[in-house]
């Protein structure tokens, strides 16, 4: 009986967490963080530039359990990337105010993953 109760509690917590996440996407904040970090210089929402479009990334990762972490890695690791003209540079590490605000970074990642084809 106790086990059933616990399982039910866990299930409803998971549900609550899920809807809280879905509601938490703040498109305005994500867009302005992307602007401040010049992300859109190299990424279109639906158009490839030096980097793949956000839609391409969303299509590749949509539905994968580790999707947000995958995107976060690109925003935080500063790994070397190749631009269209063949030059290499370290990928932008997204700056937030205050610094390294995981909630803001996750919101930007969620925004990227939310892009749908028109």
Footprint on this chain of ligand HEC (rule: CB under 6 A) = 34, 37-39, 41-43, 50-52, 56-57, 60, 71, 74-75, 81, 83, 91-92, 94, 108, 112
Taking the complex as a whole, the smallest distance from the CB of residue 22 to ligand HEC amounts, in Å, to 20
Taking the complex as a whole, the smallest distance from the CB of residue 63 to ligand HEC amounts, in Å, to 14
Closest by Cα among 48, 47, 51, 25 to 37: 51
CB 34 within 8 A of CB 108: yes
8 vs 60 by CB, closer to ligand HEC: 60
Taking the complex as a whole, the smallest distance from the CB of residue 19 to ligand HEC amounts, in Å, to 25
C-alpha span between 71 and 107 (Å, rounded)? 11
Taking the complex as a whole, the smallest distance from the CB of residue 4 to ligand HEC amounts, in Å, to 41
22 vs 95 by CB, closer to ligand HEC: 95
No. of H helices and E strands in the chain?
A: 5, 2
Three-state secondary structure call for residue 80 = strand
Query: And the tokens for 78?
Result: 């500063």
């Amino acid at each position: 009986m106790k086990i059933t109760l616990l399982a039910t509690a866990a299930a409803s917590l998971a549900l609550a967490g899920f809807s809280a996440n879905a509601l938490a996407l703040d498109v305005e904040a994500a867009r302005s963080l992307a602007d401040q970090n010049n992300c859109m210089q190299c990424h279109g929402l639906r158009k490839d530039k030096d980097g793949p479009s956000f839609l391409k990334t969303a299509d590749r990762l949509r539905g994968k359990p580790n999707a947000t972490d995958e995107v976060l890695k690109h925003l935080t690791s500063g790994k070397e990337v190749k631009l269209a003209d063949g030059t290499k540079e370290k990928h932008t590490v997204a700056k937030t105010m205050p610094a390294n605000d995981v909630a803001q970074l996750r919101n930007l990642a969620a925004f990227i993953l939310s892009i749908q084809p028109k």
